[in-house]
Amino acid sequence: MAVQLAELLSTFDELWPVSGADSWDAPGLVSGDSRARISRVLLAVDVTHEVLDEAIDGGFDLILAHHPLLLKGVTNLAEETSKGSILAKAIRSNVAIYAAHTNADIVARGVSAALADAFGLINAVPLVSAGEAIGHGRLGELPTPMSLGEFAKRIAKVVPPTATGVRVAGSFESEVGAVALCGGAGDSFMQIAYESGADVYITSDLRHHPVQEVLELAKAAGRRFSVIDISHWAAEWMWLEYAAEDIRGRFASLQVIASELRTDPWDFAVTQ
């Protein structure tokens, strides 16, 4: 049985309140008619041409994406542009687009919570609290401490494979017990992760200088601290099934499916 998009939008705001989004963010309905009837929902991290084709070919009425298609300002939507070509095709095909971004990061069953569960953390709490057990990132513990190398291998088995794999800064034999993480690009929380007492910080899109700075800080303090960099797409893809389950729990008649298309931008890596 189809559901009016307006009813879905109301539920989405209960699951991932737009009011909880960061000030720079742009979550919510990107395109579509709130009066439209929705019977199939496709979840994806990004809205790409391939994801849109999957939605059209599969008869989906709505794409629920983690990343907002129009996060940064555009001056036109000409079909020769990347955004314009996707939006025009989506509108012509009657495929609505909705985004739940930082407002889906901070909730109890959000992006970082999905990662913490996947990595086997216990007693996990927000790394950056926004009040009442919600907030960015997670800080938790492994049930049994293990070496950094073995923990990195566990992560590599859990997240979907990508060209860049799992990159590690730290000694293979370093003991890991306390773990900080943040789904998506989380280098802005690097210092907070270090000060939390975590043995390792896991996030994505890490740059040379922030990582080197925190490692040198740890050395100056006579402390071991490690950093693990995982694919941005892979980290956030882990949340899609959580979101799908939450929607199915509210609308049993809807078909809600998480896309398995890889929208990680990197295709291969080359070493000597």
CA distances to 57, 101, 136, 225, 228 from 185, rounded to whole Å, are 31, 12, 11, 19, 12
Provide the pLDDT confidence category of residue 132 given band limits of 50, 70 and 90.
low
Q: Is the pLDDT of residue 68 over 60?
A: yes
- Would you call 13 helix, strand, or coil by DSSP? helix
Provide the pLDDT confidence category of residue 133 given band limits of 50, 70 and 90.
low
pLDDT tens digits along 24-46: 999 999 999 999 999 999 999 99
Per-residue confidence (pLDDT) for residue 157, from 0 to 100: 97
Provide the pLDDT confidence category of residue 203 given band limits of 50, 70 and 90.
very high
User: Lowest-pLDDT range, 38-52, 71-85, 163-177, 235-249?
Assistant: 71-85
Mean pLDDT of 196-220: 97
CATH number of the 111-233 domain: 3.40.1390.30
Q: Which segments of the chain belong to CATH 3.40.1390.30?
A: 3-104+239-257, 111-233
Superfamily of 3-104+239-257 according to CATH: NIF3 (NGG1p interacting factor 3)-like (3.40.1390.30)
Mean pLDDT of 251-271: 95
Per-residue confidence (pLDDT) for residue 1, from 0 to 100: 78
Mean pLDDT of 67-79: 90
Mean pLDDT of 36-63: 98
Average pLDDT along the chain: 95
**Is pLDDT larger for residue 77 or for residue 226?**
226
Per-residue confidence (pLDDT) for residue 123, from 0 to 100: 96
Residue ranges of alpha helices (H) inside the chain are 5-15, 49-57, 82-92, 102-105, 111-118, 148-158, 190-195, 208-220, 232-237, 240-250
Contacts of 166 (CB under 8 A, 6+ apart): 152, 155, 156, 159, 228, 229, 230
Contacts of 135 (CB under 8 A, 6+ apart): 106, 126, 127, 128, 129
**Is pLDDT larger for residue 110 or for residue 1?**
110
Q: Is the pLDDT of residue 131 over 80?
A: no
